[in-house]
Homo-oligomer: A and B are copies of this chain.
Amino acid sequence: MKGWHKRGMKHIAAFVALALLAASLDAEEPAKPTPSEIVAAAPLADWTAIAPSDLLIMDLAPDAAAKPRRVVIQLMPAPFSQGWIGNIRKLAAAQWWDGTSVNRVQDNYVVQWGDASERKALPQGLTVVAESEYEVRDGKDRPSQPRLEASIARFFRWFADGFIADFPVARWSSPHGISAHPVHCYGMVGVGRDMPPNTGTGAELYTVIGHAPRHLDRNIALVGRVIEGIEHLSSLPRGTGALGFYETAEERVPIRSIRLASEMETDKPLPTYEYLSTESASFSAYADARANRRDPFFIRPAGGADICNIPVPVRRAK
């Protein structure tokens, strides 16, 4: 994890320490395992279960070959975006998305879904969330959230970027303390909104299907990430209207239902999922291998990776 990170003026000293570390890592070493080999060899203790109550299951209409299309989204843990996530839980419980559609597919940017008519009444009791909730401050003017700083610090203590649970976050220092916000990496799910100060409700959602659009960070709420089935969204035909919106109703992809996994009625049990703990030794080795490939295909380690090039491994639990 050297270089290649957004950082503020406060991080210059840290960067120097890091560059020295890089120099030592750049010495010749024998070939090493690939990132996926490291993940495959991780002991069971290095995996963390994802609660079914944090999984949002989106079933699209089957494709042209009648194959089912299921997308599994993990909702983000506290302290991030909990106002919007509470709304999303209410919308799922109200079966609000049933019969809505995927309406926008913009190449190298986002896939967006929700109510194409923009007239469907929302459930009662949704929260209006403030723009200040796009980030989390952990400082003098806010009760300390030790988990925030401690868990970022543990792995990426020299860096501006890190992880909370399996979510990518950026952080920076200010006179008020540490601030952090989730990052728009590939597969992250966010909340569409109107012009500010509107912050969106959570009824209109999108996921990133291209190079990380970091300019959206702290401008739009992020609420989760796709952990399975993103190909059902990323391989959809691109919309030909402005911003990649589909121009006709026929192009839209119907959404059959969106439910929390913990609230779904199913004949057989749903799969459960686990992620490679970002504080584990296995993850540390995996992240280093992503940043510095030394397996036989590679002739030069990169000497760094941006946080969106270190996706946290997720798998179905056995």
Q: How far is the CB of A248 from chain B (nearest CB, A)?
A: 13
Interchain CB contact (< 8 A) of A293 among B186, B215, B237 = B215
Give the segment of A38-46, A85-93, A304-312 that binds chain B. Answer: A304-312
Cα distance A90–B67 when bound, in Å?
42
Tell whether, in the assembled complex, residue A302 and residue B231 are in contact, meaning their CB atoms are under 8 Å apart.
no
Contacts of A5 in B (CB 8 A): 4
Tell whether, in the assembled complex, residue B12 and residue A196 are in contact, meaning their CB atoms are under 8 Å apart.
no
Cα distance A305–B218 when bound, in Å?
14
Chain B residue with Cβ nearest A131? B299
Cα distance A39–B318 when bound, in Å?
52
Tell whether, in the assembled complex, residue A196 and residue B297 are in contact, meaning their CB atoms are under 8 Å apart.
yes
Contacts of A309 in B (CB 8 A): 211-215
Cα distance A3–B108 when bound, in Å?
22
A9-34 residues with Cβ-Cβ distance < 8 A to B are 9, 12, 15-16, 19
Q: How far is the CB of A198 from chain B (nearest CB, A)?
A: 10
Q: A interface, how many residues as a size bin?
A: 35 or more
Tell whether, in the assembled complex, residue B16 and residue A7 are in contact, meaning their CB atoms are under 8 Å apart.
no
Chain B residue with Cβ nearest A311? B108
Query: Is A68 close to B, CB under 8 A?
Result: no
Cα distance A300–B308 when bound, in Å?
21
Contacts of A297 in B (CB 8 A): 195-196, 219
Q: How far is the CB of A295 from chain B (nearest CB, A)?
A: 10
Tell whether, in the assembled complex, residue B19 and residue A299 are in contact, meaning their CB atoms are under 8 Å apart.
no
Tell whether, in the assembled complex, residue A3 and residue B12 are in contact, meaning their CB atoms are under 8 Å apart.
no
Contacts of A212 in B (CB 8 A): 211, 309
Query: Is A235 close to B, CB under 8 A?
Result: yes
Interchain CB contact (< 8 A) of A302 among B107, B210, B215 = B215
Query: Is A74 close to B, CB under 8 A?
Result: no
Q: How far is the CB of A183 from chain B (nearest CB, A)?
A: 11
Interchain CB contact (< 8 A) of A210 among B211, B218, B236, B238 = B211
Q: How far is the CB of A188 from chain B (nearest CB, A)?
A: 11
A272-318 residues with Cβ-Cβ distance < 8 A to B are 290-291, 293, 296-306, 308-309, 311
Query: Is A152 close to B, CB under 8 A?
Result: no
Query: Is A6 close to B, CB under 8 A?
Result: yes
Tell whether, in the assembled complex, residue A4 and residue B3 are in contact, meaning their CB atoms are under 8 Å apart.
no
Query: Is A200 close to B, CB under 8 A?
Result: no
If A16-B12, A108-B234, A237-B235 touch, does A299 touch B219 (CB 8 Å cutoff)?
A: yes
Chain B residue with Cβ nearest A64? B64
7 pairs of residues in contact across A and B, judged by CB atoms under 8 Å: A4-B214, A107-B231, A107-B235, A211-B309, A214-B306, A215-B301, A231-B238
